[in-house]
Structure 1
Amino acid sequence: MEILDGKNISQRILDSISDEVRNIRKDGKRIPRLDMILVGDDYGSIKYVGMKEKTAIEVGIEGKVHHLDNDVNTLDVINLVESLNKSEEVDGYMIQLPLPEHINTNLVLDSIAPQKDVDGLTPTNLGKLFQKDKSSIPPATPLGIMKLLEAYNIKTFGKNVVILGASNIVGTPLAAMMLEKNATVTLCNSHTVDIQNITKNADILISATGNPLLIKKHYLKDDCVVVDVGSNKHPETGKLVGDVDWQDVQGVPSYITPVPGGVGPMTIACLMLNLMNCYKNGKR
């Protein structure tokens, strides 16, 4: 059972970006800039934005966080989004989800300029992804998963790929990206029946349910590839665990991602990769 080391592969991506930014700086050109919108005081959201800001600084990208109070309204957020859309200094930006309940998330996401949408969450970018349009910006987590499989030379062509979780952030765009690579894709949601029978046929299983330790060995076929997108607290110990019961599945998959150190670092690295592509395509 080989570990899919997202920490190692993500660092390679970040090192490459760092070299690129160094050359941009040496040539006297404008440095790429990533803005982040954070609304409220959710602990997880503050932590994730902090990690993204830290990574941006480490690779030499300019990072700016717009931290809005919890009591702002939808229009306040949209006004900020529109100012970033117009700014010549901003190459790309992201809105940390989830937004507070009183804010209309769909309206906010609809107002993002698709060419600056580093998270790939606008309807335009998601639509382009399904149309196999190369100009689409894919969400960072699915892109990170594809890059991780690619780094370990894991083929998706003709493989049975099962994705648990049909969110617009992970499951649905990942299904589009797997289809583009000619995989046979089954996308499961919370109403899917007989999930174990479906997962048992998976050559590649990607779990993004948010249910800690859901996946046991009887969900898996021998020598499958397991990608764990989950990031949950262990119900008893409080430690960070994924959707997959690491101890229980030992010896069954051929490859597996750890939690932490698997998909998480790849997501942040691919956010920076998307930003660099926005910078190059912006032609400013």
Structure 2
Amino acid sequence: MAEVLKGNVVANKIKEKMTEDIEQLGKLGKIPTLGIVRLGQNPGDISYEKSIIKNCDKLGIETKVFEKDENINTEELIELIEELNHDNNISGILVFRPLPKHIDEEIITNTISPLKDVDCMHPLNLEKIFEGDLSGFAPCTPKAAMEVLKYYDIPLEGKNVVVVNRSMVVGKPLAMMLLEENATVTICHSRTQNLNEITNNADVVVVALGRAKFFDESYFNEKSVIIDVGVSLDEDGKLSGDVDYDKLLPLVDKITPVPGGVGSVTTSILLSQVVLACKNM
């Protein structure tokens, strides 16, 4: 039976460190504050927003929600973000994505101040990661995956790690973080040929395709460590990861559950970056 790599214990450790930092900031008269920009009434965005606010309240991080009509134009959104950039009471800015199609997302990502870019949208913050500088903000999902690996003392140096995702949100920055730990990294994607052969030869496999239960036992062996980043609904309408968790649990060495795995760490990473932004102000 595989060891289950639960995310809540990892998140709690991050929150403990945050609580100490927030107390120290309080002594300096500083309160970490997250500005949330939401366009429209997307139920997924609203649910995520409520979750963030709930977590912030528990930790002593303040939140301010800036809800705008989804028909807002690019210029109006730029104006709002510039206001937040110059507001000394706002430590970090989170813009819910994807943005409506009529909004120029590239301009928006370049408008957010790199010093308040807690979701790591700005090219300058991504560039730092590709240069090996992990001291600043990072995309929350890959950083959460790394925190899970570190918490459970999973060795990475010299190990073969396969990342099944090539996006700038997950796969590419995660590959850079793994290289900093001296892992040997292979990036795969939905069009990779003989994918099951590649994953079978890996020590660690990180999957983020967004296809429920896509990966079965043919992709892994009894020594596989699986970090499942994918989140989607299965045929029964239940939340599922990319791997067939129930089928693989008795067959592999270590595995993260969905829900309760990497996703439960992601919000803690985001909030820790709000605290970092406040410390740097």
| TM-score normalised to structure 1 length | 0.94
For 2:62, the equivalent position in structure 1 comes to 62
State the one-letter code of the partner of 1:240.
L
For 1:150, the equivalent position in structure 2 comes to 150
Note the residue ranges of structure 2 that are not aligned, 5 or more in a row: none
In the alignment, is the contact (CA less than 8 A) between 2:25 and 2:279 conserved in 1? Answer: no
Distance 1:140 1:129 in 2: 12
Partner SS for 1:162: strand
- Pairwise CA distance, 1:194: 1.8
For 1:14, the equivalent position in structure 2 comes to 15
- Pairwise CA distance, 1:241: 0.6
In the alignment, is the contact (CA less than 8 A) between 2:216 and 2:243 conserved in 1? Answer: yes
CA deviation string 1:227-268 (max 9, x = no partner) = 111111112x11111111112212222111111110111100
For 1:171, the equivalent position in structure 2 comes to 171
- Pairwise CA distance, 1:190: 2.7
State the one-letter code of the partner of 1:82.
E
Distance 2:56 2:141 in 1: 17
Equivalent residues in 2 for 1:123-272, closer than 5 Å: 123-235=123-235, 237-272=236-271
Distance 2:223 2:135 in 1: 35
State the one-letter code of the partner of 2:228.
D
Partner SS for 2:162: strand
Quote the sequence identity (%).
38
In the alignment, is the contact (CA less than 8 A) between 2:30 and 2:278 conserved in 1? Answer: no
- Pairwise CA distance, 1:171: 1.1
CA deviation string 1:166-189 (max 9, x = no partner) = 121111111110111111111112
Partner SS for 2:132: coil
Distance 1:121 1:4 in 2: 28
Distance 2:198 2:73 in 1: 43
CA RMSD, Structure 1 to Structure 2 (Å):
1.4
In the alignment, is the contact (CA less than 8 A) between 1:229 and 1:263 conserved in 2? Answer: yes
Structure 1 stretch displaced more, 13-22 or 69-78: 13-22
- Pairwise CA distance, 1:23: 4.1
State the one-letter code of the partner of 2:66.
H
Note the residue ranges of structure 1 that are not aligned, 5 or more in a row: none
In the alignment, is the contact (CA less than 8 A) between 1:202 and 1:221 conserved in 2? Answer: no
Q: Extract structure 1 runs of 4+ deviating beyond 6 A.
A: none
In the alignment, is the contact (CA less than 8 A) between 2:142 and 2:174 conserved in 1? Answer: yes
Quick check: 1:91 aligned with 2:75? no
